[in-house]
Amino acid sequence: MIPRYADLPISADAPPGSSWGVFGREDQLGTLNFLSPERRAAAAGLARRGAVFNLDLPLDLPARPFFGTRRRPTHVIDRWPNSSVQDDHLDGFFPQYSSQWDGLRHIKHPEYGFYNWTSDEDAYAVDGRLGMQNFAQHGIVGRGVLLDVERFLARQGTTLAPDQPFSIEPTLLDDVANAQQVELHSGDILMLRTGLATLLHAEAARGEFSEEPRTEFACPGLAQGEASLAWLWDHQVAAIVSDNLSVEAWPFDRSKKLIHHGGIALLGLVLGELFDLDDIGVDCANDGVYECLFAAKPLLLRGGVGSPANALAIK
């Protein structure tokens, strides 16, 4: 029996508002535990038409970095003299530059540390706990549900600017789901569309590539605070992926509990960022079906902090 958010924690030595111990004291999967074999098998039945949708941005997008600490990779084609063979490699490859998964060792809570009693030493060591190999070996496969907030608001006559701050409250998520006639089930992968991928593709089409990071950028996303965390946990969302910068609204409202701190570190919530949800959004709007088979295989990188998305949707 999974406790409600209001009933957390279940262990006396766990932080308030945390799921530590819910999946066992040795758990390294967090909310991916909601992806049971039965739920994966049921999700496979959603691939009715065989239509496949890529959910990744190209590895060289965004055209301008969001953070100076993450650089665009350089793709090099290696041609070998007197050989018919060629190879390639990436220089300066940051797994979290483009469409990405945040691993459970990506961030720690400033007071309570890393998820599920993981020490700093364990989280920093290649052979320590919470590495990306856990996600890779488990896979992220299940029922994907698109909540197209940008398109819903547009139909209400409201423009959701992808480069302006806007806090998406849980009540708005409920309104979008009701309008789309779709319900979230335990173990779903929630796909949150705000329209940022459209902006990023437009920048690339205009050739606006630069190595200089952006300054004073903002974007819509989930509202910070206990209400959003409770909504995600009580719906037993296995992972939430968004087309925006950080799943939660940017810049962060640090007067409230952050999704990154309260979600990743305290709940073991799996986040995916900068996904490309434009094509799947158009298809869902056309056929009125907002569920799909979602499949992703993060990099099998021992001790990895994050990974490219490597994700598909199939309808």
Q: Is residue 85 part of a domain?
A: no
Sign of CA dihedral 173, 179, 183, 188: negative
pLDDT at 83: 87
Whether 170 maps to a domain, the answer reads yes
What sign for the dihedral angle of Cα 133, 89, 106, 293?
negative
Which pair of tokens denotes residue 31?
């909310």
What integer pLDDT is reported at residue 82 of this predicted model? Answer: 87
pTM to 2 decimals? 0.97
Alpha helices (H) in 235-306, listed in sequence order: 259, 278-287
Count of alpha carbons within 13 angstroms of residue 206, beta-carbon side: 11
Q: Tell me, what's the pLDDT at 81?
A: 87
Residue 5's pLDDT is 98
Query: Would 67 be classed as within a structural domain?
Result: no
Q: Is residue 78 part of a domain?
A: no
DSSP-assigned states of every residue in 52-96: EEE-PPPTT-SSS-SSTTS-PPEEEEEE-TT-S-EEEEEES--TT
φ, ψ dihedrals at 261, nearest 5°: -75, -55
Which amino acid would we find at residue 143?
R
Neighbouring residues of 69: CB distance < 8 A, sequence distance ≥ 6: none
Query: Which CATH number characterizes residue 167's domain?
Result: 3.50.30.50
Q: Is residue 90 part of a domain?
A: no
Closest CA to 247 of 261, 142, 289: 261
In a domain, 66, yes or no: no
How many domains in the chain?
Answer: 1
The pair of structure tokens assigned to 145 is 């549900």
Mean pLDDT per block of 10 residues along the chain (315 residues) reads 97 98 98 97 97 98 94 92 91 96 98 98 96 98 98 97 97 98 98 98 96 94 98 98 98 96 98 98 98 98 97 98
Residue 304 within a domain: yes
Residue 104 lies in a domain: yes
> In which domain, by residue range, is 273 found?
5-61+96-314
- Residue 303: per-residue pLDDT: 97
